[in-house]
Chains A and B, each alone.
Chain A
Amino acid sequence: MKIEVTSQMTGNVWKVVVAKGEQVEEDQEILILESMKMEIPVVSPDDGTIIELKVEEGDFVSEGDVIAILEED
């Protein structure tokens, strides 16, 4: 099943931690946002593979934006 990974909050993408095609575990950091004066990670909701990354470092994302697509294991 394909899962859309969304940003919980509005902020700037400070660092993208994983690459497209990478295998991730549940709760693994996908990227780190800078928001509310803090560095806040967006984590994977499940075990699976990142089949698409929708943002780059420096991008601005709003709450609810899809930042990656995960193919569930």
Chain B
Amino acid sequence: MTKQVVEEQNELKQKIDKLLEKKEKYREMGGQKYIDAQHEKNKLTARERINLLLDEGSFKEMGILAHHQNLHPTMEGKFTPADGVVAGRGTIDGREVCVAAHDYTVLAGAIGKVAETKVARVREWSLKNRVPMIWLVDSAGVRVQESIGSLFAGNGRQFFDQVQMSGVVPLICALMGPGIAGTAYLPALADFVPMVKKTSYMALGGPHLVRSVVGEDVDEQTLGGSRVHTQESGVADLEVKSDEECLKVIKKYLSYFPSNNEQKPPIKEGVERAEITINERLAEIVPTNPKKIYNMYDVIKELSDDNDILAMKPKWAKNIITAFGRVGGYPVGFIANQPMHLGGALDGDAADKAARFMNICDSFNIPLVFLQDIPGFIVGSKVEKAGIIRHGAKMLHMVSEATVPKITIIIRKAYGAGYFVMNGRQFDPDYIAAWPTAEISVMGAEGASSILYHKQIRKAEDSKAAWSEYADQFRNLIDVEVAASNMLIDDVIDPRETKLQIFDAVASAWNKKVERPWKKNSIRPV
């Protein structure tokens, strides 16, 4: 080799060493001090989270050499390895996904211009390749130094992109630390939002801003902690106890989903029809005394393989249950009334929750199973002022739009418009059956008799006794076999066989195809 070639080779080797050294340095993120601080708060770092989320060794990072390029004096000398966001692709249970995780150890995970370009690159990959997108949020929001003044005019593209991706690929946004200001719209536009208890919070304005703008003195957790968003606002879907649990639940959520809207969700192998046997428990859960209530979760668990389900928004609008599960290996979305809360009657929040869940299942070809025990919608001036009509309409709209297999089982009450929105006979169920305990009716006997016989009741000597008598008469007209003999439902079934009935219906309707007249959009009630 000539001297010149040797020199050139050495030069290249030095360049490679320098590059590798730089990458190693960038992999260390904000440095040990900040990593320790992160751990002290019971939080994992962005890299630790990604390693736990993805299949071992599958992570392919994009943009590790990113660094802020800002010339503003406030950014001078700031070291921002990977520009504070770890992003790339990998696999979960062998299926491709894209992921972007804010790195709180670098300037509190605040999002700079370069970081945003990186995440945009990963979003693009997710949409082009039709694979799920996962955000792990732990960020103080936009890096204000980089959006000073009216440069802000160029911000916000991530939300536009997210809407284009919505319904094409599953969008998951986990809150694993702060998600303030614009960052709070990432979860709002995502399909699934788990929040880690005590360490995460989200708010359009953080405590500082709130104090200075509206004068309210409020701490982070009271303003937008997991309790607020999983129990009161309904923005988040699930409160989890730790980072580890959060990452586990993301994997579980995705296991029910296809990679995109053009695929069917994965059917779990190894479950045989013959294994779905008569289940005595189902006949024991629901009490015959109508005064006694029961926990609908017990019914759903008996219907789902291994008694295993994943409930969405379980602590918000508890009067309705929305949960993923599997019936004989087929993934399904259960929508069920919960008699334990408000007697299972629907209010605005419950209607919102159910409509959204139907929307998600329908977008990703997951069959819907409705379990009815519904006394109807709540009535009165309070709910009217809160707009129960437009909220209830969302359910009507969505149940009519959904083209996935739709199965309805009427367990006990099926009253009024509640029966409609829970996929009643006229809303195209592929299969609708009732238990012998079912009561399908325009309304309960007491309410109906007071309307039908109000004159007679008023004129009666003992109006209370008269009302009770008319109610009994009306109750005798509520008979599920009348509905069956008029062919208004497909069957009255043995409750113990419910799982088999659902399985057979889902399996037969799995390749269901419904075509509707072309339109640009429905006008959806909001």
Residue of B nearest to A10 (CB): B380
Q: Is the interface of A mostly helix, strand, loop or mixed?
A: loop
Residue of B nearest to A41 (CB): B340
Q: A45-B231, A45-B315, A46-B227 are in contact. Are A39 and B342 (CB under 8 A)?
A: no
Total interface residues in chain A, CB < 8 Å: 14
Q: Are the CB atoms of B341 and A38 closer together than 8 Å?
A: no
Task: Find chain B residues with CB under 8 A from A38 CB.
Answer: 290-293, 339, 343
Q: Are the CB atoms of A39 and B345 closer together than 8 Å?
A: no
Interface residue? B375 (CB, 8 A)? yes
Task: Find chain A residues with CB under 8 A from B315 CB.
Answer: 45
Q: What are the interface flags for A30-48 relative to B under an 8 Å C-beta threshold, 1 for contact and 0 otherwise?
A: 0000011111110101100
Q: A45-B315, A46-B227 are in contact. Are A39 and B292 (CB under 8 A)?
A: yes
Interface size class of B (residues with CB under 8 A): 10 to 19
Q: A45-B315, A46-B227 are in contact. Are A40 and B340 (CB under 8 A)?
A: yes
Interface residue? A9 (CB, 8 A)? yes
Of residues 282 through 304 on chain B, the ones whose CB sits less than 8 Å from some CB of chain A are 290-293
> Closest CB of chain A to B219's CB: distance in Å?
10
Cα A73 to Cα B375 with chains together (Å): 36
Cα A36 to Cα B341 with chains together (Å): 11
Of residues 7 through 47 on chain A, the ones whose CB sits less than 8 Å from some CB of chain B are 8-9, 35-41, 43, 45-46
Of residues 207 through 239 on chain B, the ones whose CB sits less than 8 Å from some CB of chain A are 221-222, 227, 231
Task: Find chain B residues with CB under 8 A from A41 CB.
Answer: 293, 340
Task: Find chain A residues with CB under 8 A from B446 CB.
Answer: 37
Residue of B nearest to A63 (CB): B382
Cα A46 to Cα B241 with chains together (Å): 12
Q: Are the CB atoms of A36 and B343 closer together than 8 Å?
A: yes
Residue of A nearest to B444 (CB): A37
> Closest CB of chain B to A63's CB: distance in Å?
8
Q: Are the CB atoms of B293 and A39 closer together than 8 Å?
A: yes
> Closest CB of chain B to A43's CB: distance in Å?
8
Task: Find chain A residues with CB under 8 A from B340 CB.
Answer: 40-41, 43
Q: Are the CB atoms of B227 and A36 closer together than 8 Å?
A: no
Q: Are the CB atoms of B290 and A37 closer together than 8 Å?
A: yes
Q: Are the CB atoms of A36 and B345 closer together than 8 Å?
A: yes
Residue of B nearest to A29 (CB): B340
Q: What are the interface flags for B373-393 relative to A under an 8 Å C-beta threshold, 1 for contact and 0 otherwise?
A: 001000000100000000000
Q: Are the CB atoms of A35 and B343 closer together than 8 Å?
A: yes
Q: What are the interface flags for B440-484 relative to A under an 8 Å C-beta threshold, 1 for contact and 0 otherwise?
A: 000000100000000000000000000000000000000000000
Of residues 257 through 304 on chain B, the ones whose CB sits less than 8 Å from some CB of chain A are 290-293
Q: A41-B340, A45-B231 are in contact. Are A36 and B375 (CB under 8 A)?
A: yes
Cα A35 to Cα B339 with chains together (Å): 12
Task: Find chain A residues with CB under 8 A from B290 CB.
Answer: 37-38
Task: Find chain A residues with CB under 8 A from B375 CB.
Answer: 36
Cross-interface CB contact of B342 among A9, A45, A46, cutoff 8 Å: A9
Task: Find chain B residues with CB under 8 A from A36 CB.
Answer: 343, 345, 375
Cα A41 to Cα B292 with chains together (Å): 11
Cα A63 to Cα B341 with chains together (Å): 12
> Closest CB of chain B to A56's CB: distance in Å?
21
Task: Find chain B residues with CB under 8 A from A8 CB.
Answer: 341-342
Residue of B nearest to A34 (CB): B291
> Closest CB of chain A to B313's CB: distance in Å?
14
Q: A8-B341, A8-B342, A9-B342 are in contact. Are A39 and B227 (CB under 8 A)?
A: no
Q: What are the interface flags for B338-363 relative to A under an 8 Å C-beta threshold, 1 for contact and 0 otherwise?
A: 01111101000000000000000000
Residue of A nearest to B347 (CB): A8
Task: Find chain A residues with CB under 8 A from B222 CB.
Answer: 1
Of residues 34 through 73 on chain A, the ones whose CB sits less than 8 Å from some CB of chain B are 35-41, 43, 45-46, 63
Task: Find chain A residues with CB under 8 A from B292 CB.
Answer: 38-39
Q: A8-B341, A8-B342, A9-B342 are in contact. Are A37 and B291 (CB under 8 A)?
A: yes
> Closest CB of chain B to A71's CB: distance in Å?
14
Cα A60 to Cα B420 with chains together (Å): 33
Task: Find chain B residues with CB under 8 A from A37 CB.
Answer: 290-291, 446
Task: Find chain B residues with CB under 8 A from A1 CB.
Answer: 221-222
Task: Find chain B residues with CB under 8 A from A46 CB.
Answer: 227
Cα A39 to Cα B335 with chains together (Å): 23
Residue of B nearest to A35 (CB): B343
User: Which 5 A-B residue pairings sit nearest by Cβ, starting from the closest?
Assistant: A36-B343, A38-B343, A38-B293, A9-B342, A8-B342
Query: Can you name 15 A-B residue pairings with CB atoms under 8 Å?
Result: A1-B221, A8-B342, A9-B343, A36-B375, A38-B290, A38-B291, A38-B292, A38-B293, A38-B343, A39-B292, A39-B293, A40-B339, A40-B341, A40-B343, A63-B382
The residues of B with any CB-CB pair to A shorter than 8 Å are 221-222, 227, 231, 290-293, 315, 339-343, 345, 375, 382, 446
The residues of A with any CB-CB pair to B shorter than 8 Å are 1, 8-9, 35-41, 43, 45-46, 63
Known contacts A8-B341, A37-B290, A38-B290, then 19 further A-B pairs from the complex at CB < 8 Å, ordered by chain A residue: A8-B342, A9-B342, A35-B343, A36-B343, A36-B375, A37-B291, A37-B446, A38-B292, A38-B293, A39-B292, A39-B293, A40-B293, A40-B339, A40-B341, A40-B342, A41-B293, A43-B340, A46-B227, A63-B382
